Structure 1
Amino acid sequence: MVFTVDKGSPVTLFEQLHSQAISKIESGELIAGTKLPTVRQLATDLEVAPYTVARLYRALEADGFVETLGRNGTVVKARSGTSAELLQVSATEYAARARDLGIEPATALEFVRTALGVD
């Protein structure tokens, strides 16, 4: 997941991250079930204060875009329970399981194609 900040921008770091996160969720770039980096990790990656990332996650949760699962982290939330969003959650779980089992992405995708009955 790629977030960027422009420290020279007149737009605050929080606002930059907030708009990027919402845009990525609404566009489907971040799908339901996607686990976000820890506050500390994202703050370190972006070289911003952990408070900025914590504030971002709180705002996204208040707006219904993510949910915090305590020690299990913060994940993108299925917002309206549509079929597509529910399938995104399943796809995220499937991808995680494939990685855990050491299955190559091409093989995991082939399994899905076979299950869907497409070439």
Structure 2
Amino acid sequence: MDIRVDPALAAPPFEQVRDQIAAQIMDGRLADQARLPAIRALATSLGLAANTVAKAYSELEASGLVVTAGRNGTRVVGQTVADAGLTGAADAYIAAARRRGLDTDALVSLVRTRAAS
């Protein structure tokens, strides 16, 4: 796993770590069930505080890309499981929008606007 933190970037270190791991999961460089480095080990190798890496891992877990099992470490969740989480979120969004009377074009427009911001 190749991660680099650039202090010159506006994004805080935990976001850089989170985004790079997420990208590696999504493009297949980190395979299903791959074990991520221990928080302290990754923090040490990147010159970061353990809490910084812990926050990145926590956000990855909240997004459904990894699962943490205590002493068994943090592992990549299979893409189908991660996709199911996104599908569920999309379904909930669509249902809420429909209840408010939005049609498909309005839904797509709203998503594009929010994604661009």
Task: Quote how far apart the aligned CAs of 1:69 are.
Answer: 1.2
Q: What SS is found at the alignment partner of 1:9?
A: coil
| 2:49 matched residue in structure 1 | 49
| 1:64 matched residue in structure 2 | 64
Q: What SS is found at the alignment partner of 2:80?
A: coil
Separation of aligned partners in 2, 1:54 and 1:76 = 15
Q: What SS is found at the alignment partner of 1:80?
A: helix
| 1:87 matched residue in structure 2 | none
Separation of aligned partners in 2, 1:17 and 1:70 = 20
**Identical columns (%):** 42
| 1:36 matched residue in structure 2 | 36
Superposed CA deviations along residues 2-39 of structure 1, whole A, max 9, x for unmatched, are 11100122221111111111110000001111000101
Q: Which amino acid aligns with 1:69?
A: A
CA RMSD of aligned residues (A): 1.5
Contact 1:64 1:79 in 2 (8 A): no
Contact 1:42 1:53 in 2 (8 A): yes
Q: What SS is found at the alignment partner of 2:75?
A: strand
| 1:7 matched residue in structure 2 | 7
Q: Which amino acid aligns with 2:24?
A: K
Contact 1:60 1:66 in 2 (8 A): yes
Task: Quote how far apart the aligned CAs of 1:41 are.
Answer: 0.2
Provide the TM-score with structure 1 as the length reference. 0.65
Separation of aligned partners in 2, 1:11 and 1:56 = 12
Q: What SS is found at the alignment partner of 1:33?
A: coil
Separation of aligned partners in 1, 2:65 and 2:79 = 7
Extract unaligned runs of 5+ from structure 1: 82-119
Task: Quote how far apart the aligned CAs of 1:60 are.
Answer: 0.5
Task: Quote how far apart the aligned CAs of 1:79 are.
Answer: 3.6
